Amino acid sequence: VRHLYICDFHKNFIQSVRNKRKRKTSDDGGDSPEHDTDVPEVDLFQLQVNTLRRYKRHYKLQTRPGLNKAQLAETVSRHFRNIPVNEKETLAYFIYMVKNNKSRLDQKSESSKQLD
């Protein structure tokens, strides 16, 4: 038997596709946002624990103390998937900022200069 080895990223990707197929054919109907296959999946499990904690703190997510990385990433993922986003407005803003070589920090410093 010839063995074919793949990296963890692709192994996880294949597993997530399999899980989505199972969910789609399950009895729950697949109408919830978690089962939407058109939404691209963001793998927050790749982030460092400190980053996940900062996200949790920024959005004031309520969790029990002492969560491990997997539990924290799952909580953050659930919150991240449910944030409403106006895609058209967000993309237009992003393109504008890139074309003008600006960042959000630039805007804050410009507004404080106008107050002086």
pLDDT score recorded for residue 36: 47
Cα dihedral across residues 80, 85, 87, 89: positive or negative:
negative
- Could you read off the pLDDT of 38-58 as tens digits, one per residue? 556 778 888 999 999 999 999
pLDDT for 55 equals 92
Using H for helix, E for strand and C for coil, what is the string for 81-103?
Answer: HCCCCCHHHHHHHHHHHHHCCCC
Residue 33, helix vs strand vs coil: helix
Phi and psi, residue 29, nearest 5°:
90, -25
SS3 call for 62: coil
* Residues 42, 80: Cα–Cα separation, whole Å: 9
Segment 48-92, tens digit of pLDDT: 999 999 999 999 999 988 889 999 999 999 898 888 888 899 899
